[in-house]
Amino acid sequence: MEEIQKLKNSVKPGRDTRLLNEWERIDEACSESDIVSYAVHKFNASGLPVIYDITFNIKSITGVEKADSMGLERPVFGDKHILRISIPNNYPANDGGFPEFKFITDVWHPNVRYFGDFKGRVCLNLNDCGTSVYLTEHIATIAGYLRYTEYHARDEHPFPEDQTVAKWVLEQAEPLGWLNTAKPCHCGLDPQSHEQPCHCGLDPQSYEVQVKVSHEIAGLRFASPAMTTTFQDNTI
């Protein structure tokens, strides 16, 4: 991008250099992707982005239907999701200054707050938020959230962000095969190793495991490896 190239000759060392590097990485990654794009929502006084809107064109769950006669809340899908990244003034810092990641569209995921005042807040592992980790790596992780290749629903450390969604995942989505993912069973065992249905109630034959370590999520090239999965009509 022309603006980025111009700023390279005038940017100040320190925080502004980091912000420029973040911008360049996001711009490059999104320019090579068919599923992720970005817009700058706010610039600082130096002309560098401090708030991004990241758009994911990925089929994912945006909510659930009202419970039917059997008590089942079936997933509702959407294919456009907008994540807002807000960078604080003390970013980057090892002891704080973490960006805020918040969906401004509905996302139904145990590690994204769906209910309450903090609706949309994305929970990321703070141990992975040091100065050596770039925003593109977090964007890649969140793309995994949308694809349900990455989630934590069990009520144990680091704990789900939304307990209601987590309960739905464990009690309905997983047992009924609504999540066709490339992650191990929530009991911690590799589903391919099961000789019979796991004690969690899942049929190992219902999994189509496609674990692929790469630097790409469906055309989105980022620095961190990820697992890929295939969407079916009503299965994520």
Q: What is the DSSP string of the chain?
A: -HHHHHHHTTPPTTHHHHHHHHHHHHHHHHHT-SSEEEEEEEE-TTS-EEEEEEEE---EEEEEPPP-TTS---EEEES-EEEEEE--TT-SBTTB-PPEEEESS---BTTB--SSTTTTBBP--GGG-STT--HHHHHHHHHHHHHTSS---SSSTT--S-HHHHHHIIIIITTTT----SS--TTSS-GGG-SS--TTS--GGG-------EEEETTEEEEEEE-----BTTB-
pLDDT digits (tens, 9 = 90+) for 106-151: 999 999 999 999 999 999 865 556 677 899 999 999 999 999 999 9
Residue 21 counted as domain residue: yes
Per the structure, the complete domain to which residue 161 belongs is given by: 2-179
Residue 200 counted as domain residue: no
Q: What is the pLDDT of residue 196?
A: 43
Residue 100 counted as domain residue: yes
Residue 197 counted as domain residue: no
CATH number at residue 97: 3.10.110.10
Residue 229 counted as domain residue: no
- The pLDDT of 81-89, averaged and rounded, is 96
Q: Residue 204 pLDDT > 90, yes or no?
A: no
Query: Average pLDDT, whole number, for the chain?
Result: 79
Q: What is the pLDDT of residue 130?
A: 63
Q: What is the pLDDT of residue 1?
A: 78
The domain tally of the chain equals 1
Residue 198 counted as domain residue: no
CB atoms within 10 A of CB 93: 13
Q: Residue 217 pLDDT > 80, yes or no?
A: no
Residue 82 counted as domain residue: yes
Residue 168 counted as domain residue: yes
Q: Residue 221 pLDDT > 70, yes or no?
A: no
Q: What is the pLDDT of residue 162?
A: 97
Of the listed ranges 51-55, 94-98, 133-137, 148-152, the one predicted with least confidence:
94-98
Q: Residue 72 pLDDT > 90, yes or no?
A: yes
Per-residue pLDDT band at 200 (split at 50, 70, 90): very low
